[in-house]
Amino acid sequence: MPYRICKSFEVENGHMLSKHPDKCRFPHGHTRRVELVLEAAALDGNDMVCDFKAVKTMVGEYLDRFDHAMCMNVADPMYAEMKKRYGEQIIGFEQTDPTTEVIARVIHDHLQGQLSGPDRREPDRYAVQAGVRVVRVRVWETSSSWAEYAPA
């Protein structure tokens, strides 16, 4: 069994689900906990999967985009007005509702892209060894509800 680590973050985030038949189609927010699970077949030279600081460096700014932002389907009739009014605080999702499942997937894809990219480090002391991969991203919507993305 590979070695695994988990790093958690918390963001205050809103979304509107234009396809939802009930209250969730209106703007509402959540205190989201984001859990990132990474694994490696072997430990690095520091006896770690990777340093938690490296994980924070790879996703910190990206997750900050979601903090106090509203996620919306760009096909929502209110999207253009909201984007005009609130600018960067409106995050558009192309032809899909920003459900917690979808948010988990986009966070996963960002982190996996960082791991696959040419620069997997924040100075040399936080280098990430080749072969580290994202096992899953779990996003908590409430204290009793979460969605997860884990590629096959």
- Which CATH number belongs to the domain containing residue 125 in this structure? 3.30.479.10
Given a cut of 90, is residue 121 above it in pLDDT? no
Domain of 106? Answer: 3-7+17-30+45-149
Which residues have C-beta within 8 Å of that of residue 106, sequence separation ≥ 6? Answer: 93
Given a cut of 70, is residue 118 above it in pLDDT? no
Using CA atoms, how far apart are residues 42 and 49, in angstroms rounded to an integer?
Answer: 7
- Does a structural domain hold residue 87? yes
What DSSP line would sit under 86-116, residue for residue? HGGGEEEETTS---HHHHHHHHHHHHHHHHH
- Does a structural domain hold residue 66? yes
- Does a structural domain hold residue 36? no
Confidence of residue 152 (pLDDT cuts 50, 70, 90): confident
Does pTM top 0.85 for this prediction? yes
In eight-state DSSP terms, residue 2 is -
Q: What is the sign of the dihedral through the CA atoms of 75, 78, 84 and 89? A: negative
Q: What is the arrangement of strands in the sheet containing 145-149, beginning at the earlier edge strand?
A: 90-93, 69-73, 3-15, 28-40, 133-142, 145-149
Give the count of domains, the chain. Answer: 1
Cα separations (Å) of 11 from 22, 40, 106, 138?
Answer: 24, 27, 15, 13
